[in-house]
Copies of this chain bind each other. A is one copy, B any other.
Amino acid sequence: MIAAMTNAERPAPEHDPTNEMDAWRHTGRQAVDWIADYLEGIEARRVQSDRSPGEVRAMLPNFAPETPDSIESVWRDMDEIIVPGLMNWQSPTFFGYFPANNSPPSILGEFLSAGLGVQGMLWSTSPACTELESLVLDWLVELMGLPATFRTDQVGGGVIQDSASSATLCAMIAARDRASQGQARTEGTRQPLVVYASSDAHSSVDKAAMICGIGSQNVRHMAVNSLRQMDLSVLQSQLESDLAAGRIPTMVVATIGTTATGAIDDVRAIADLCQQHDIWLHVDAAMMGAAAICPEFRWVHEGVDRCDSYCFNPHKWLLVNFDCDCFYVRDRKWLTRSLSINPEYLRNEATDSGQVIDYRDWQIPLGRRFRALKLWFVLRLYGAKHLREMVTDHCAMAEQLAEWIRCNPSLVLDGRQLNLLTFRHVDGDDASAALLQRMNDAGRVFLTHAKVADRFILRACVGQRTTSGRHLETLRSELQSAIESAG
């Protein structure tokens, strides 16, 4: 005990200068203003960065500093080096990929999550982290008219994943293990398992098959019909031919809102085929699922009550900053059987009691942030009504744009699905590609492209928080000048 006393009397190492948090209150206020200034001034910036490869890095030192840099130098580098090197995704004239829209309440939620610094891997490592997540995911079941079986107070349940890619992967692993009676989990993926999706499904289906040992060649991309929905007769004959060849149909991924054109598969009819052959049905509604928050768009979820798993991304079109994918399963046991592992150092009374959800068993990584906060902040500080109005407005704006394109003699409108427009130049692929490049290079708007039926098409997705009529006008005038400058 003498040594102990001696040790206790040693001067304590102090990592936290007493003024560290006081100084931080000041810096934190600077950060609040920096973010507010950035978002308020975003329209004046190029949407797409014009930096060349290596240019950002070349402006920064090659070695970490030995002693602290000043916060002023950090703000200067943020302004002069970092921001000019960014795509300004939150710009109201960003019409590319998907909106990834963000919002002041969501930014606060992420900030608090960082400030709290808790780990939600187990219920016991922060009960509120798990219970708030279950609650807000159940709120969304009600708000979006999703099936009651998805509620965490039923046998199913919801969990926040980082992305739809990870949700699709988790669903595929559960499907793989169900189809192989657990053999794939223990012995490896030794059976000829097959996954089906439309030719327009997201690349994450192929990536998940590469990751989980099913293999990219065992993903069958079904031809699509004129609405770019999975062709059901093709699916049916492919299923029969695989069964006849001794292969095991394992999973069908139906898409609600394909990336290229927003096509919506006939989920109900696919569900009939899946049920007949005992195949896992996963529905990827990454962007367009959000529309179901509006009763008038709830038709997008037709048939979702029949699927085994489902995901959509509030980080795309519900004002929650990335990462926030909501992943639901009809029966959680398949998921947790596949992803659960309980080493001694994570054992605890609550887990052993079976009374709690441990979300580490619903995802790939072990650790997890308190992501429910940002979703909760958005739902509480906007309220459901505002979110419905936003979705309605975005779709109305997309229709305004569609009407303008229909009337433009240089453009052909291929279609509009909710907030997503697809169109092209009347002179063909080269003219369409040149049009896109001229607009994006000018930097005042940003759009992306896809290939549909081997044709180069432009996509314009309307969904930023601050996009309004005058930003549509900017897009129209940019399009018009790009068309004219080609002449």
Nearest B residue to A138 via CB reads: B62
The verdict on A449 contacting chain B, using a C-beta distance below 8 Å, is yes
- Number of copies of chain A assembled together: 2
**Which B residues touch A400, using CB under 8 A?**
7, 10
> Can you give 30 A-B contacts (C-beta < 8 A)?
A4-B404, A8-B476, A13-B393, A15-B390, A16-B468, A28-B29, A35-B116, A51-B127, A54-B355, A56-B132, A65-B379, A68-B382, A69-B380, A69-B381, A82-B128, A83-B128, A85-B128, A85-B131, A86-B126, A86-B129, A89-B119, A89-B126, A101-B117, A110-B111, A117-B321, A162-B162, A188-B215, A206-B341, A213-B213, A345-B448
Question: Which residues from 85 to 131 on chain A have a C-beta closer than 8 Å to any C-beta of chain B?
Answer: 85-90, 97, 100-102, 104, 106-108, 110-119, 123-129, 131
Taking the complex as formed, is A71 at the interface, i.e. its CB lies under 8 A from any CB of chain B? Answer: yes
CB distance A135 to B211 under 8 Å?
no
A134 within 8 A of B: yes
CB of A277 within 8 A of chain B? no
A12 touches B470 (CB 8 A): yes
Instruction: Output the nearest chain B residue to A172 by Cβ-Cβ distance.
Output: B211
Q: Which chain B residue has the least Cβ–Cβ distance from A382?
A: B68
Given the complex, which residues of B lie within 8 Å of A113, measured CB to CB?
A: 110
In this complex, the interface size class of chain A, counting residues with CB under 8 Å from chain B, is: 35 or more
CA of A134 to CA of B60, assembled, Å: 12
Does A336 sit at the interface, judged by CB under 8 A? no
Residues of chain B with a CB closer than 8 A to A84's CB:
128
Give which listed residue, B3, B49, B338, contacts A127 with CB less than 8 A. Answer: B49
Closest to A117 in B: B102
Taken together as a complex, chains A and B put the C-alpha atoms of A341 and B207 apart, in Å, by: 7
Q: Which B residues lie within 8 Å of A74 (CB)? A: 377, 380-381
In the docked arrangement, what's the CA distance between A64 and B141, Å? 10
A143 to B62, CA, bound (A): 11
Q: Identify which of B11, B212, B449 contacts A211 (C-beta below 8 A).
A: B212
Q: B67–A3 contact, CB under 8 A?
A: no
Q: Which residues of B contact A483 (CB under 8 A)?
A: none
Q: A71-B381, A131-B54, A211-B173 are in contact. Are A142 and B86 (CB under 8 A)?
A: no
| Cα-based distance from A478 to B143 in the complex (angstroms) | 48
In the assembled complex, how far is the CB of residue A31 from the closest CB belonging to chain B, in whole angstroms? 5
Residue of B nearest to A39 (CB): B21
The reply to whether A111 and B35 contact each other, CB–CB distance below 8 Å, is yes
> In the assembled complex, how far is the CB of residue A417 from the closest CB belonging to chain B, in whole angstroms?
15
A28 touches B32 (CB 8 A): yes
Q: Does A78 contact B (CB under 8 A)?
A: yes
Contact, CB under 8 Å: A7 / B86: no
- With A21-B39, A188-B213, A344-B450 already in contact, the answer to whether A128 and B49 are too (CB < 8 A) is yes
Complex Cα gap A449–B358 (Å): 18
Judge if A181 is at the interface, Cβ distance under 8 Å: no
Tell whether, in the assembled complex, residue A8 and residue B469 are in contact, meaning their CB atoms are under 8 Å apart.
yes
The answer, yes or no, to whether A466 is at the interface (CB within 8 Å) is yes
Contact with B along A8-52 (1 / 0, CB 8 A): 101111111000111111011101111110111000000001010
- Shortest beta-carbon distance from A342 to chain B in Å: 8
Nearest CB on B from A141, distance (A):
10
The answer on a CB contact under 8 Å between A323 and B35 is no
Partner of A403, one of B3, B62, B107: B3
- Interface presence of A322 (CB below 8 A): yes
What chain B residues lie within 8 Å of A283 (beta carbons)?
Answer: none
B217 contacts A10, C-beta separation under 8 Å: no
* Interface check A451, CB cutoff 8 A: yes
Which residue in B89, B131, B202 is a CB contact (below 8 Å) of A56? B131
The 6 A-B residue pairs with the shortest CB-CB distance, nearest first, are A213-B213, A12-B469, A85-B128, A188-B215, A28-B32, A35-B115
Contacts of A136 in B (CB 8 A): 64
- A162: chain B residues at CB < 8 Å are 162, 365, 367
